[in-house]
Amino acid sequence: MKTMSAAQLREYREKEHEKSYLLIDVRQPVEYEESHIPGSILLPLNKFEEQVEQLPEKHLVFYCKSGIRSKAAALTADFFNDTGKDIYTLDGGVMAWNGVTIQGLPSFRIFDLKKSLNEILIDAMNLEKGALRFYEHLLKHCQMGDDLDKVMEQARDGELGHAKIIYSHLKRIAPDTLPFDAVYEKLDGDILEGGTPLDEMIKLLDKRADQLAKQSGLIKGEVESSQKRNKDQIIDILETAISMEYRAFDLYRVMSEPVADMAEHYSDNSLKHAYEEENSLQDAFHALSQAEKAHMNALVKTLEQILSEG
């Protein structure tokens, strides 16, 4: 068993492929729902010993509130570790983690888990189309400047790429599926990756833009207030996009590992059996979580650059 600091965990997650490790929260469900590190799987300590031998052969990183419970889990996992995989515990737990956390459970309601594999993958394509439409709206209606437009164009094109990743897995399990363009054209793209309806998010952004305009207009002269309004709006847009991508990452990452306490979200065993018998769905969600991570990093770096300019 090894100990990992919060900074080391951030660096580890940036470098490691999402398919190679599991981040496991050993707190209670109410703690997890209140706030958790994106992409972590819930496996409460009181259920851990009975499920530890069922964990996949991957590197494991455990965390809790302060690092006490996660040490107990890591020691137990180390005892059953016959393959030499790395086992870590987050020193200081969530209290030491100063990165992004997410409130609420991953949006499992987005996917009807009674559906077939084909239908679940098409639902995932619809989420990606919703994100593409979101970025298209920003490019059309928000004045962000050439550099930021390029960032948003890359994000938009990335969402189309994500949909094509999903389609490749869909085609593999259902060779008779219509061509990508025919499937994609029929999708509404009305829900964003975090589960929010697209029209609600656009209305919220427009409302906040109006509020920022009124606030900045009361502070300084017309030219300066226009500049400040534009910068504040850009920051708001980027933070909204980052939040959406983090929630998408959280959902896809947890969906890629149908293990541990998440079993309660599977209303029957059909999907779990599908995971065990067919790797396409699991591979698709792993690929998506890896792609979402790249999106998050690009958007975060852009936001940090704008904030550092003062």
* pLDDT tens for each residue of 244-281: 889 889 988 888 876 544 445 444 444 555 555 456 67
Whether residues 136 and 157 share a domain: the answer is yes
Q: Which residue has the tokens 């996917």?
A: 111
Q: What are phi and psi of 88, to 5 degrees?
A: -125, 155
Average pLDDT rounded to a whole number, residues 18-42:
93
Whether residues 127 and 247 share a domain: the answer is yes
Whether residues 176 and 212 share a domain: the answer is yes
Estimate to the nearest angstrom the gap between the alpha carbon of 210 and the chain centroid: 29
Whether residues 78 and 187 share a domain: the answer is no
Whether residues 119 and 260 share a domain: the answer is yes
For residue 289, being part of any structural domain is answered with: yes
Contact 123, 110 (CB under 8 A): yes
For residue 101, being part of any structural domain is answered with: no
Q: Considering 71, 96, 121, which residue would you say is the last residue of a domain?
A: 96
Of 56-60, 88-92, 233-237, 270-274, the range with the highest mean pLDDT is 88-92
How confident is the model over 97-153, as pLDDT tens digits? 988 898 887 776 677 767 777 888 898 899 999 999 999 998 888 777 788 889 899
For residue 292, being part of any structural domain is answered with: yes
Domain that holds residue 71: 2-96
Q: How many domains is the chain built from?
A: 2
- Report pLDDT for 62: 96
* Angle value at C-alpha 13, between 7 and 16, nearest 5 degrees: 135
How far from each other are the two terminal CA atoms of the chain, in whole angstroms? 43
pTM attached to this predicted model: 0.81
For residue 27, being part of any structural domain is answered with: yes
- Report pLDDT for 111: 73
